[in-house]
């Protein structure tokens, strides 16, 4: 078994080097004038790249890749990114060929070490943890990360999942979905993770999960670094900074909240208009048309 897994890992690695330039996000970022270093150029530099693993749980995986790689790519550091999937079910939003070409399975990387792990959000805010199809795999990855990952970032739904797995905190759910662009306040301006932030900043949210700051303070030893105006925790981390949590979606594009809103409308739901998303003197329909225009 060990020999078979080692061979499989080597195939995945070689496949990624051969196919990485075909990842849609590469051309997407270049069109935005974001610097993307080729493998051949990177290999000629005497710099050890940061190894970052992204566990992509979002349904529109290509869009999410674009968003996170945009943030990681525009950096003087070399970042070697691997994409991980743990849901073996057929995707309705991402071609199987894309997943097969660019994603690895947990068995392929479980013997490796990474500098960073990013666990994305997922549209599972109203689903009980034990009803999530890949809940056992989520727990397996988080347990593995304790010994194989230096720092882990959890985003939105992944925050809720991690708080349950790591701290035993039950699922906390809002009655209405929190959607929109909200103001936040820095609590520790000299903290490493908030260095360079203004005292207040805007960030998008799209979640049913509830993260009252009092809950985090009372039931964990995590340090809250930023809060919403309503007293929800936005950014918090362990004292050793090995795990960090962001309850919103700082990676979202300008159009993502609008796309989610119109998706829900077309599905026959009655979502609230995302807070502070649409200009006051323009209708949601007008803004939708603008967002649909090619850029």
Catalytic site includes residue 32: no
Catalytic residue among 104, 205, 223, 249: 249
Judge: domain 16-254, CATH 1.10.10.10: no
pLDDT in tens, the chain (295 residues): 333 333 233 333 323 333 455 677 777 667 766 666 656 565 656 677 889 999 999 999 999 999 999 888 767 778 889 999 998 888 888 889 999 999 999 999 999 999 999 999 999 999 999 999 999 999 999 999 999 999 999 999 999 999 999 999 999 999 999 999 999 999 998 899 998 899 999 999 999 999 999 999 999 999 999 999 999 999 999 999 999 999 999 999 999 999 999 988 998 888 899 999 887 644 445 554 554 444 4
Enumerate the domain spans of the chain: 16-254
Q: What is the pLDDT of residue 171?
A: 95
Catalytic residue among 156, 205, 223, 260: 156
Q: What is the pLDDT of residue 76?
A: 73
Q: What are the binding residues?
A: 177, 206, 263
Q: Dump the DSSP string for 230-288.
A: TSBEEEEE-TTSSEEEESS-TT--TTHHHHHHHHHHHTT--PPPPBTTS-TTS-HHHHH
Catalytic site includes residue 188: no
Q: Taking each helix axis from N to C terminus, what angle separates 256-266 and 284-292, rounded to the nearest 10 degrees? A: 120
Catalytic site includes residue 15: no
Q: What are the binding residues for substrate?
A: 177, 206, 263
């Amino acid at each position: 078994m060990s020999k078979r897994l080692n061979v499989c890992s080597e195939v995945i690695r070689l496949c990624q080097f051969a196919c990485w330039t075909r990842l849609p996000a590469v051309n997407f970022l270049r069109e935005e004038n974001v610097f993307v270093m080729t493998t051949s150029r990177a290999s000629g530099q005497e710099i050890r790249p940061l190894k970052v693993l992204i566990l992509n749980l979002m349904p529109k995986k290509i869009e999410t890749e674009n968003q996170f790689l945009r943030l990681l790519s525009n950096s003087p550091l070399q970042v070697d990114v691997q994409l991980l999937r743990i849901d073996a079910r057929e995707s309705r939003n991402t071609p199987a060929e894309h997943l097969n070409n660019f994603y690895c399975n947990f068995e392929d990387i479980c013997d490796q070490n990474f500098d960073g792990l990013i666990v994305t959000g997922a549209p599972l805010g109203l689903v009980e943890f034990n009803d999530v199809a890949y809940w056992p795999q989520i727990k397996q990855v988080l347990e593995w990360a304790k010994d194989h990952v230096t720092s882990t970032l959890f985003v939105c739904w992944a925050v809720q999942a991690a708080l349950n797995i790591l701290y035993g905190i039950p699922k906390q759910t809002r009655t209405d979905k929190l959607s929109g662009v909200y103001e936040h306040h820095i609590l520790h301006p000299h903290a490493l993770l908030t260095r360079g932030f203004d005292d207040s900043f805007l960030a998008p949210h799209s979640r049913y999960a509830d993260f009252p700051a009092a809950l985090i303070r009372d039931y964990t030893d995590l340090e809250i670094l930023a809060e919403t105006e309503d007293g929800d925790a936005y950014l918090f981390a362990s004292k050793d900074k090995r795990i960090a949590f962001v309850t919103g979606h700082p990676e979202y594009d300008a159009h993502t909240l609008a796309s989610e809103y119109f998706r829900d409308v077309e599905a026959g739901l009655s979502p609230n208009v995302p807070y502070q998303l649409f200009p006051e003197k323009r209708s949601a329909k007008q803004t939708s048309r603008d967002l649909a225009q090619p850029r």
